[in-house]
Amino acid sequence: MYYEIVPMDRSHIPQIAALEREEAECKSALSALGEKREQLLAVIGALRRFWKSSDIVIHTHSEYVAAGFTKGWLEKWVENDWKTGKGEPVSNRPEWEEMAELLNVHEFEFCVGKHTYSNVMAWWIRKVREGYLEIEDIIYGSRNGG
């Protein structure tokens, strides 16, 4: 089991402060994709790593991503020829379609809220910065051990 005890004010700890700056810089670089698209791509990247049908729980901080499935948005968009209730085209349609296709073979549920994997994400960000991984390996998934 892994436990982490961190003081409330971590700014005086140089390593953690540097890691938080790196994470913020990486998020800034990804924001060019658009926050909602970025959230969809993160889930898609994780789903691409599954080799067979599984029972999965998708932990996300994104109400937007979860609502597409838990509130029936996806079904309504498909019925309305990918138009919103206001008659506008659905944003990020290719990503929604890919995520639906990837989830089609799984039993799944969404859990919205902060999760303990933030330290894992920080590790991935560090590996990208150090040149060991490409950001595409994280977003799109790598089957080469990445």
Which of 9-23, 52-66, 94-108 reaches the highest mean pLDDT? 94-108
Ordered DSSP codes for 36-86: HHHHHHHHHHHHTT--S--EEEEEES-HHHHHHHHSSHHHHHHHTTSB-TT
Q: What is the pLDDT of residue 62?
A: 84
What is the pTM assigned to this prediction? Answer: 0.60
Q: What is the pLDDT of residue 21?
A: 60
* pLDDT band at residue 140 under the 50/70/90 scheme: low
Tens of pLDDT, residue by residue over 58-90, are 888 788 999 999 999 999 999 999 999 999 999
Query: Phi/psi at 141 (nearest 5 deg)?
Result: 85, 140
Domains annotated for the chain, with CATH where assigned, are 16-140 (3.30.420.10)
